Structure formats: C-alpha cells, structure tokens
C-alpha cells in the first residue's frame, strides 16, 4: 500500500471515531459544557491539566526536532559527536520543572477535592438543600431529611442553591455521576461519601451510574430535575401532601391490586396502605415522573412492558414480572399508578 493511501485510511478511521463520539454526546450530558458551579470547578481542573500537558508536549517535541535536525549525520562525516553526560544544570532542570508542574496541578486539585466534599452545614439554611442518596442494584433513592420524604429515580433540586449529597450504597459499589453538573463520587457499602453540586439553569440533566455494579449497570440511570426555587418549593409541598387517593372505579381497583402485589416492596405516601415497603423505589407521585424505572419514557406502553417483563428491560433487577395478573387487574393497576401525583 502506498504511504498516501495508508495515511488516508488512518485519517478515515479517526474521522469516523470523532463522528461516533459526537454522536454519543447527549444534550444536558456534557462534562465540557458544565451547567453549575461544581461542574465548572471540575472543568477548570481538566483545562489546567490539559494546558500543562500541551506545554510539556510542545517543549519535548521542539527539543526532539531541534536535536534531529541539528545533529543529523552529514555525508562523508563518520566522526562521533562529543558525548555529554552528568550535566548538573540539565539534570537539575528536568527534575525541578516537573516538580513545579506537579505542584501547580496538585494545589488546585486538592483544594477543589476538599471543597466539593465539604460537610453540609448542621443548621437548616435557605440557600442549602441536603439529600441522602442511596444506590441500589439498579435504582437510586433520594431522601430529603429536612422535608421528611423519600423519592426515587428523580432528584429534584432548586437552581442557584447548593445541594449537599450524602452518598451510600445498599449493596455493591456504585458511582454517582451527572456529567453536566458534577461527578463522579463512589457509593461504597458501609461508608458515607459526600459531594456538592448546583445547577445554574432549570432543566433535566442526565445522571448515571459510573461503576460496574452488575448486569444492568449501564441501565442504572436517573434524572436531575433542576427547577426555579419557587417551583422546587411547590414540588416539596406536593411531595409532603401527595394526592394518592384513587378517584375513579378503575383507580380504586388498581389500589387494591397494588396492595396485594406491590406493597411489600414499594411505598406510596399519602395513602392508608398499612404496610409500606422500602426494598424498591418509593412510588409517590409516580404519575409525574418523566421515566419508568429511571430509563424509558413514562408512557402506557413502557409501563405495561415494565410491569409484565422487567427482566427484558433491566436484566438482574429484583422487580418480579406481573404477567400473571388478569388483563383487567393490570390495566387498573396502571391506571392507579398513572394517577399518582
Ligand atoms: Cu450502579 Cu453501576
């Protein structure tokens, strides 16, 4: 193969890779376009290390090409050039320069790391929201200790306020990552890790698990819903007083089906259901969630498939299938779930 063709092919492969990578970038899920203070601090660290690496590369290649050209063997000249070693000045120079570069990198990295893992203030403050995050195979639990409720798969936060997260795991190691806002922090069984994030603008940001945790690791997604503080407050009030009591006949039937089949694992607040499970996502306000199982759009078709055969959508999930329910029971159950606000 001619050299031109060879380089042409390599160029083609790299162009395809670049196109593939641009295809991966989803809106609201881009580390290089952070939408909050924490993300911006982390991007500043990425930029700093890239600048340092580029500087090192430029210097090393400049010296390399200088030596290559300057000391090229001339035709008919077979003498060996003067051999130099143990030049104290040079030796010191290439020990001291990397040390300086590492210090320039280490100081802001440590500062940012400790600042982003800061403990939440003890007192309740207007500009701060505290959330306890618990990872489960393969779903996310969000508890708001100051407001006294739990939710799942959707982390609601107010814009412009600092959100302090306490992260723990119920089973194996997971990692909490919201590319546009901040990340990643591991959730390790038996220990509490902390991180802080914030969003500048309202929007729905994609979150995911970033640590291989089982068959459905790649499907362990969640949403971060950032709202204006006034909208967030409305959401909090709604979650505190959920309207979960069924209105129509079908919804009433559905609640019965729920209490017979789902209640030992799932909880719905604001109902008179006596047993409330906490082994599975809390379903309060499920009708308003954007996704089913944190994964697929919350519509009739997806909910139906999820309830009948969850393994086909999330392999390894602890959610059993309910394809044995009668058609009527299944449709009233779905009607009830969709009515939850
Ligand atoms: Cu949880 Cu990967």
The number of beta carbons lying within 10 Å of the beta carbon of residue 293 is 24
Ligand 1: does its nearest atom lie under 6 Å from the Cβ of 219?
no
Distance 338 CA to ligand 1 centre (A): 27
What would the DSSP string read from start to end of 235-254?
A: HHHHHHS---S--SHHHHHH
Contact residues for 269 (Cβ-Cβ < 8 A; gap 6+)? 149, 239, 242, 244, 276, 282, 284
Nearest CA to ligand 1 atom 1: 174
- The domain segmentation of the chain, as residue ranges, is 25-71+86-229, 249-339
Name the CATH superfamily, with its identifier, for domain 25-71+86-229. Cupredoxins -  blue copper proteins (2.60.40.420)
Ligand 1: does its nearest atom lie under 6 Å from the Cβ of 213?
yes
- Fold that domain 249-339 belongs to in CATH: Immunoglobulin-like (2.60.40)
Cβ contact 184:169 at 8 Å:
no
Distance 221 CA to ligand 1 centre (A): 9
Contact residues for 47 (Cβ-Cβ < 8 A; gap 6+)? none
Ligand 1: does its nearest atom lie under 6 Å from the Cβ of 319?
no
Work out the pLDDT band at 79, boundaries 50, 70, 90: confident
pLDDT in tens, 107-141: 999 999 999 988 888 888 889 999 999 999 999 99
What would the DSSP string read from start to end of 182-200?
A: EEEEEE-BT--EEEEE--S
Question: Looking at residue 23, what is its pLDDT?
Answer: 55
Fold match, 25-71+86-229 / 249-339: yes
Atom from ligand 1 closest to the CA of residue 220: 1
pLDDT in tens, 259-314: 899 988 998 888 877 667 788 999 999 998 999 988 899 999 999 999 999 999 99
Ligand 1: does its nearest atom lie under 6 Å from the Cβ of 220?
yes
Predicted model pTM? 0.84
Distance 300 CA to ligand 1 centre (A): 27
pLDDT in tens, 2-17: 666 777 777 777 777 7
Per-position b or e across 61-98, b if 16+ CB within 10 A of its CB: eeeeeeeeeeeeeeeeeeeeeeeeeeeeeeeeeeeeee
CA 149 – CA 157 distance, rounded (Å): 14
DSSP state of 286: G
């Amino acid at each position: 193969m001619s050299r031109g063709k060879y380089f042409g092919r390599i160029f083609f492969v790299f162009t395809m890779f670049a196109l593939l990578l641009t295809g991966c970038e989803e809106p609201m899920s881009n580390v290089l376009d952070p939408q909050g203070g924490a993300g911006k601090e982390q991007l500043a660290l990425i930029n700093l290390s890239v600048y340092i690496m580029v500087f090192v590369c430029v210097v090393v290649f400049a010296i390399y090409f200088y030596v290559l050209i300057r000391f090229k063997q001339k035709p008919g000249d077979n003498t060996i050039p003067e051999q130099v070693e143990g030049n104290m000045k040079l030796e010191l120079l290439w020990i001291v320069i990397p040390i300086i570069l590492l210090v320039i990198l280490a100081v802001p990295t440590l500062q940012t790391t400790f600042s982003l893992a800061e403990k939440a203030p003890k007192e309740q403050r207007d500009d701060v929201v505290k959330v306890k995050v618990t990872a489960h195979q393969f779903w996310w639990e969000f508890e708001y200790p100051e407001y006294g409720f739990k939710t799942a798969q959707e982390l609601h936060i107010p814009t412009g306020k600092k959100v302090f997260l306490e992260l723990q795991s119920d089973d194996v190691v997971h990692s909490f990552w919201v590319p546009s806002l901040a990340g990643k922090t591991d959730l390790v069984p038996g220990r509490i890790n902390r991180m802080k994030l914030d969003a500048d603008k309202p929007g729905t940001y994609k979150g995911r698990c970033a640590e291989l945790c089982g068959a459905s690791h790649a499907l362990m997604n969640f949403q971060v819903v950032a709202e204006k503080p006034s909208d967030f407050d409305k959401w909090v009030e709604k979650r505190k007083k959920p309207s979960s009591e069924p209105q129509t006949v079908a919804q009433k039937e559905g609640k019965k089906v729920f209490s017979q089949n789902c209640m030992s694992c799932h909880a719905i607040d604001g109902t008179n259901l006596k047993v409330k499970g906490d082994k599975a996502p809390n379903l309060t306000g499920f009708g308003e969630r954007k996704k089913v199982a944190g994964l697929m759009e919350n519509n009739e078709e997806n909910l139906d498939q999820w309830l009948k055969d969850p393994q086909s959508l999330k392999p390894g999930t602890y959610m059993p299938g309910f394809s044995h329910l009668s058609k009527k029971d299944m449709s009233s159950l779905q009607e009830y779930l969709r009515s939850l606000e």
